[in-house]
Amino acid sequence: MTQASTPVGEVFERLLGPRATVSITAYDGSSSGPADAPVSIQVRSPLALDYLMSSPGDLGLARAYVAGALDVTGDLYTALHALSAQVDQLTPADRLWLLRKLGARHLRVVKPPAEEHPSRIRRGMTALRHSKGRDSEAIASHYDVSNRFYELVLGPSMAYTCAVFPQAGASLEEAQEHKFDLVCRKLGLQPGMKLLDVGCGWGGMVAHAVRHYGVEALGVTLSREQAQWAQKNIVSLGLADRAEIRHLDYRDVTETGFDAISSIGLTEHIGARNVPGYFRFLAEKLKPHGRLLNHCITNPDTSVAHRSRGFIDRYVFPDGELEAPGELVTAMHDAGLEVRHSENLREHYALTLAGWCANLDEHWDEAVSEAGAGRSRVWALYLAACRLAFERREIELHQILGVRTDREGGMGMPLRPDWGI
């Protein structure tokens, strides 16, 4: 009978430790933590304990939150700051203590929330991973949620990649504009040049490059929803004579002879084993002296596994894989691209995610109406967790600039970088 009478608040107090800055209230009437804590966690049903005990690492917490069995009052990022590290660091002794207090009934297998993707094993053979068909399905599952939902989260720029803040206090929109302009300057864009933007999203880079640098641009994306929104926007801006957005796999681009290629946030989706072929393909699309700017999330070092796991793999980016910056640099050089510059924008992505979190909070009711409560909870958790991961240097963001040299080794670039900050 001891197991059944153990207050849930006591259990979470053990999980969080004595210095936790969150309070806990539970369905059994128990509580723990300081009453004046800035963040309160509500354990609404025994299902939260089932998920926590039966799921590894962060997956249990994610399932409980997405299902609504565990809720947060206050800033979700602050709650994660207190929760995630403690749960990830549970020792065998801690788990044995939880088992004694909660009882074996909480070890039962519980059906995950509807928003969860199957495990990698259930999704199919490794050999099929990152085939065109499977990549298309993975992209659609994440990006084809609702264009209106993305407008609420991302803001007017519709830029779903790391912004670059020119100074402290810059707005998210200013930082996204600055990011696109920085990429244009690193690529050395000039009027009349031909630009290819792979993984173009809602077309922000294409529109900026055409409007401000006078180039002709082609953008491609695997998301049908993105392509339709982006092409409509290109037409509304009066740029259709110089810009086009296609619903197309980058591997199916037939044009060649580009002066520049931008890849902003695509590499995370192609798979580590495909990185060499990816850079070879893009290098072949460039003219001599043509530049490639690859902007993507990276692992902090090569000891970290390529494949995403847990919550991110099951709810956010199925089949997503990250590489360390050195692996990307090596692959670019092996593909015939000479790397001329690399920049880590890790802190900028944390700031970007903070902006997206604020947008989602501000428009929460409309987001739930548009995409559903479960999907909105997935996004709230994902954005806050990624912000924390960038701050802790669990992941990074690198822009790497390469050039296709001519036969004599000429690279057509100034002796020193000329794109400023």
Report how far residue 113's alpha carbon sits from residue 63's, in angstroms, rounded to the nearest whole number: 6
How would you label 406-419 residue by residue, b for 16+ Cβ within 10 Å and e otherwise?
eeeeeeebeeeeee
Q: Cα 38 to chain center, whole Å?
A: 27
Q: Which residue has the tokens 């640098």?
A: 213
Kindly list the catalytic residues: 386
Q: How many CB atoms lie within 10 A of CB 305?
A: 10
Contact status, residue 164 vs residue 295, Cβ threshold 8 Å: no
Q: Which amino acid is at 229?
A: W
The β-bridge partners of 219 are 197, 245
Q: Which residue has the tokens 């206090």?
A: 169
Q: How many CB atoms lie within 10 A of CB 393?
A: 11
Report how far residue 226's alpha carbon sits from residue 214's, in angstroms, rounded to the nearest whole number: 23
Q: How many CB atoms lie within 10 A of CB 261?
A: 25
Report how far residue 406's alpha carbon sits from residue 395's, in angstroms, rounded to the nearest whole number: 35
Backbone φ and ψ of 3, nearest 5°: -60, -45
